């Protein structure tokens, strides 16, 4: 072991000179925080040894260092074992030549994520000034800072300042910038920000991907079986972090790129944690949930911080929704089959919760105009002018109103003045001639309120009342957008997201989604959400009986075409194909638009909007 000088100068003249100097740091590692080396007599030291808490019976050692002021161990040791469920230990009757002691704890530990005993043991080190201490904990941060503290003292820092600096640096490496005087004050069961950070770092380091990853050889599933864990790699990994950190107080990209990768994968894997608050976690765990939701939540939130800190960018928040940043840090990405690729630079986009890796091409595509012709039309009934969009899909020309119909029916009792109509008003069908079908009875719902909000009622028009191009409330020469019109539109623009505008990001934080939902109205379609808390919109529509004449043959032909030429995004193709049959249900009366899909529904809305398509 290297020797790091904390020599006691006994000559009075030298002591006087040192005391006259300002500041606490001196060349050669002289400490002015005490009157030199202090012997420890009949001392009791307690503490907690934790990755997760080391299990009962694990060994703890306090090593004496030399009275000549170096941190070299003398060979004299005091031993004990872990006695408590939180990694607790205590040693009585400690007598040391120097207040500076080296501590070590080794054994199996309890996993934070599931409460089970670890498959591998771990050794954790610490260096501490026991003069004024009654407790001294041993944890991952004391292990990471151990050699760094020794180097800082050798460079002239006082022991106290070296401890404080090292603790601040290691926390900062993970994106946490707070003052901590000493890492051995921290405990994963306490609640200060520093304690929570220790817990979160301990949780991340527990992931086997960091220290025993699959090397691409053999069977991957077999590699991840517990019986095939290479335990030596765990100790090697945490020692490598300590070695990397020792010289400059910075964790290199070769280490942090994998930590940041794990953080990024955690954000995707546990994105549902975004909308689970502490109260819900408490309630679900009281009910006997074994999902360890509180652990998932902590890991999810900490992963946001780790990833953005590593990338050198500010945290992604709702206010930055849709913002892009360029990065120049190596990061590992995984392909569909788990194959790894290291990106040395690239782009990220804020989805309102966290940063998503993306490409320059994708960023450009978000605002790239989808080809169409823009125009206007005037409703001869009231002189109202509407924007229009025209396009050709599958050999057919379409011209849509690019705004919601606002025609106010004279003497109407509904909300037509606001662009909201009942289905019978929109379709211009006498309500007294229709049938009302209720899918479920009141007994199927939990409460009267639930029944009123969610009951499925379908209004059916009499036979022959609906045309294949049904004018309804639209101007002459135009018809209510039917389910096939909506389907063609969504296929053409490759997904409903390309029809949405910025208003669909309101209250984004309430949505559970891990997609990059950035909407720029690329088609000039001007869809507005009816409900901005949970963004969605409803349009009256219909399905004519002729739409399903050759449904299976048409479906198979369409799928074959999409698979053959790849002209549409695969994800959106799968969604739209899944809706293909529902778009041909003759009971359809509404078309629902959300931030992820558009789909025909048999549930008739009390009021909804109308879009018209030219015949």
3-state SS record for 323-357: CEEEECCCEEEECCCCCEEEECCEEEEECCCCEEE
Are 391 and 453 in the same domain? yes
Highest mean pLDDT pick, 30-34, 260-264, 320-324, 603-607: 260-264
Query: What are residue 191's phi and psi, to 5 degrees?
Result: -120, 5
Domain that holds residue 174: 12-246
> Which pLDDT does position 187 carry in this prediction?
96
Are 318 and 411 in the same domain? no
| Number of structural domains in the chain | 3
Using the 3D structure, point to which of 342, 367, 392 is the last residue of a domain.
367
Within-domain flag for 1: no
Report which of residues 263 and 279 the model is more confident about. Answer: 263
The residue written with tokens 């790239």 in the block is 368
Task: Locate 331 and state its tokens.
Answer: 């990061």
Kindly report which listed range (151-160, 254-263, 314-323, 445-454) carries the lowest average pLDDT score. Answer: 445-454
Report which of residues 506 and 159 the model is more confident about. Answer: 159
| Angle (deg, nearest 10), helices 293-311 and 193-205 | 90
Q: Identify the band that residue 453 occupies on the pLDDT scale cut at 50, 70 and 90.
A: low
Are 262 and 177 in the same domain? no
The residue written with tokens 């009622």 in the block is 457
**How are strands ordered across the β-sheet holding 100-107?**
73-81, 59-65, 100-107, 122-129
Are 493 and 610 in the same domain? yes
- The tally of CA atoms less than 13 A away on the side-chain side of residue 150 is 24
Task: Locate 374 and state its tokens.
Answer: 């823009």
Are 358 and 382 in the same domain? no
Within-domain flag for 4: no
State the burial class of residue 489 (Cβ atoms within 10 Å of its Cβ: 0-12, 13-18, 19+).
Answer: buried
> Which pLDDT does position 16 carry in this prediction?
33
Task: Locate 461 and state its tokens.
Answer: 């028009």
Are 194 and 278 in the same domain? no
DSSP string, 533-565: TTTEEEEE----GGGGTTHHHHHHHHHHHHHHH
Are 77 and 226 in the same domain? yes
Provide the β-strand partners of residue 391: 398
> Is the pLDDT at 510 greater than 50, yes or no?
no
Q: Identify the band that residue 1 occupies on the pLDDT scale cut at 50, 70 and 90.
A: very low
Eight-class DSSP state of 238: H
> Which pLDDT does position 365 carry in this prediction?
76
Segment 224-248, tens digit of pLDDT: 999 999 999 999 999 999 999 999 9
Using the 3D structure, point to which of 217, 246, 275 is the last residue of a domain.
246
Are 25 and 98 in the same domain? yes
Are 76 and 221 in the same domain? yes
Are 360 and 417 in the same domain? no
Within-domain flag for 152: yes
Are 151 and 219 in the same domain? yes
> Is the pLDDT at 577 greater than 90, yes or no?
no
Name the strand (E) or helix (H) holding 237.
helix 232-246
Using the 3D structure, point to which of 367, 397, 412 is the last residue of a domain.
367
Are 425 and 302 in the same domain? no
Q: Identify the band that residue 252 occupies on the pLDDT scale cut at 50, 70 and 90.
A: very high
Cα–Cα distance, 166 to 145 (Å, whole number): 6
The candidate with the shortest Cα–Cα distance to 500, out of 537, 541, 534, is 537
Q: Identify the band that residue 513 occupies on the pLDDT scale cut at 50, 70 and 90.
A: very low
> Is the pLDDT at 262 greater than 80, yes or no?
yes
Within-domain flag for 533: yes
Whether 331 and 514 have beta carbons less than 8 Å apart is answered as no
Cα separation values, 349 from 265, 269, 320, 323, Å: 15, 18, 9, 6
> Which pLDDT does position 15 carry in this prediction?
32
* Dihedral angle computed from the Cα positions of residues 523, 529, 532 and 535, in that order, rounded to the nearest 10 degrees: -80
Within-domain flag for 319: yes
E-strand ranges in 384-440 read 385-393, 396-401, 435-438
Within-domain flag for 7: no
> Is the pLDDT at 518 greater than 70, yes or no?
no
Kindly report which listed range (250-254, 527-531, 585-589, 603-607) carries the lowest average pLDDT score. Answer: 527-531
Cα separation values, 161 from 149, 164, 340, Å: 9, 5, 41
Within-domain flag for 418: yes
> Which pLDDT does position 41 carry in this prediction?
94
Q: State the average pLDDT over residues 184-212.
A: 93
Whether 531 and 511 have beta carbons less than 8 Å apart is answered as no
Within-domain flag for 196: yes
């Amino acid at each position: 072991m290297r020797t790091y000088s904390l020599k006691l100068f006994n000559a009075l003249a030298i002591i006087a000179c040192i005391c006259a100097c300002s500041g606490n740091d001196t060349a050669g590692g002289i400490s002015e925080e005490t009157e030199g080396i202090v012997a420890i007599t009949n001392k009791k030291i307690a503490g907690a040894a934790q990755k997760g808490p080391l299990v009962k019976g694990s060994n703890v050692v306090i090593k004496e260092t030399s009275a000549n002021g170096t941190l070299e161990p003398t060979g004299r040791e005091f031993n004990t074992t872990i006695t408590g469920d939180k990694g607790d230990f205590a040693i009585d009757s400690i007598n040391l030549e120097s207040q500076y002691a080296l501590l070590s704890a080794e054994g199996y530990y309890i996993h934070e994520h599931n409460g089970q005993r670890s498959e591998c043991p771990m050794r954790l080190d610490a260096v501490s000034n026991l003069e004024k201490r009654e407790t001294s904990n041993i944890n991952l941060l004391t292990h990471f800072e151990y050699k760094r503290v020794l180097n800082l003292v050798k460079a002239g820092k006082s022991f106290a300042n070296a401890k404080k600096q090292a603790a601040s640096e290691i926390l900062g490496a993970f994106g946490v910038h707070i003052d901590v005087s000493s890492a051995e004050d921290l405990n994963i069961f306490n609640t200060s920000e520093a304690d929570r950070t220790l817990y979160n770092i301990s949780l991340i380091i527990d992931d086997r991907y960091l220290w025993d990853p699959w090397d691409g050889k053999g069977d991957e599933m077999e590699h991840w079986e517990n019986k095939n864990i290479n335990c030596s790699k765990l100790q090697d990994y945490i020692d490598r972090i300590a070695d990397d950190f020792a010289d400059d107080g910075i964790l290199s990209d070769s280490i942090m790129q994998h930590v940041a990768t794990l953080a990024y994968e955690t954000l995707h894997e546990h994105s549902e944690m975004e909308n689970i608050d502490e109260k819900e976690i408490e309630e679900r765990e009281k009910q006997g949930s074994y999902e360890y939701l509180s652990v998932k939540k902590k890991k999810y939130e900490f992963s946001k911080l780790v990833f953005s800190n590593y990338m050198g960018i500010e945290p992604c928040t709702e206010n930055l929704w849709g913002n892009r940043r360029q990065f120049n840090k190596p990061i590992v990405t995984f392909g569909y089959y788990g194959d790894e690729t290291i990106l040395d630079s690239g782009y990220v986009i804020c989805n309102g919760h966290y940063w998503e890796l993306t490409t320059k091409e994708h960023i450009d595509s978000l605002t790239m105009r989808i080809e169409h012709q823009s125009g206007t039309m005037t409703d001869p009934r009231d002189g109202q002018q509407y924007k229009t969009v025209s396009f050709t899909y599958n050999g057919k020309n379409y011209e849509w109103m690019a705004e919601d119909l606002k025609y106010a029916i004279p003497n109407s009792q509904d909300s037509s003045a606001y662009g909201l109509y009942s289905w019978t008003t929109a379709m211009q069908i006498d309500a007294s001639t229709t049938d009302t079908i209720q899918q479920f009875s009141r007994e199927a719902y939990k409460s009267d309120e639930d029944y009123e909000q969610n009951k499925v009622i379908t209004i059916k028009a009499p036979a022959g009342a609906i045309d294949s191009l049904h004018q309804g409330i639209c101007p002459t020469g135009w018809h209510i957008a039917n389910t096939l019109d909506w389907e063609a539109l969504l296929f053409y623009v490759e997904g409903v997201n390309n029809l949405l505008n910025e208003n669909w990001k309101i209250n984004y934080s309430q949505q559970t989604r891990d997609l990059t939902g950035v909407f720029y109205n690329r088609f000039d379609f001007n869809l507005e959400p009816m409900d901005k808390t949970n963004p969605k919109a409803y349009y009256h529509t219909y399905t004519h009986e002729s739409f399903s004449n050759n449904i299976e043959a048409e479906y198979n032909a369409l799928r074959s075409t999409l698979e053959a030429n790849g002209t549409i995004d695969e994800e959106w193709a799968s969604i739209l194909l899944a809706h293909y049959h529902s778009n041909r249900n003759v009971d359809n009366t509404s078309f629902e638009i959300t931030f992820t899909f558009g789909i025909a529904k048999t549930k008739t809305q009390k009021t909804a909007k109308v879009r018209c398509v030219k015949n």
